[in-house]
């Protein structure tokens, strides 16, 4: 996945990270299926969502918008991919 990022930094910002973790933790707490392999001892929705984010298994798309109403939809996998550089 080498989609060019035109709006914002080439990585996940701390604000986007917090929003994604919070939204996913809410989904997990409401009974959404868990997408990552987690230990049986892990039951906190925030910890589970962190494990899913670090495992790069969340099928989410981030929308970055500018004040002039232009936007870019970026797959989360592009922003969380590890660079070999």
Along the 85 residues of the chain, how does pLDDT read in single tens digits? 456 889 999 999 999 999 999 999 999 999 999 999 999 999 999 999 999 999 999 999 999 999 999 999 999 999 988 765 4
Residue 72's φ and ψ, nearest 5 degrees, are -140, 130
pLDDT of residue 84: 52
**Cα 79 to Cα 69: distance, rounded to the nearest angstrom:** 22
pLDDT of residue 1: 45
CATH no. of 14-80: 3.90.940.10
Domain spans in the chain, listed from the N-terminal domain onward: 14-80
Instruction: Kindly give, in sequence order, each residue whose CB lies less than 8 Å from that of residue 4, ignoring residues fewer than 6 positions away.
Output: none
**Cα 35 to Cα 6: distance, rounded to the nearest angstrom:** 29
């Amino acid at each position: 996945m080498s989609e060019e990022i035109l709006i914002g930094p080439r990585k996940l910002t701390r604000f986007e990270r917090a929003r994604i973790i919070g939204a996913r933790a809410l989904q997990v707490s409401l009974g959404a299926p868990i997408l990552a392999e987690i230990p049986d001892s892990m039951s906190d929705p925030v910890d589970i969502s962190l494990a899913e984010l670090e495992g790069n298994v969340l099928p989410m798309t981030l929308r970055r918008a500018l004040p002039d109403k232009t936007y870019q939809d970026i797959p989360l996998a592009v922003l969380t991919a590890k660079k070999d550089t």
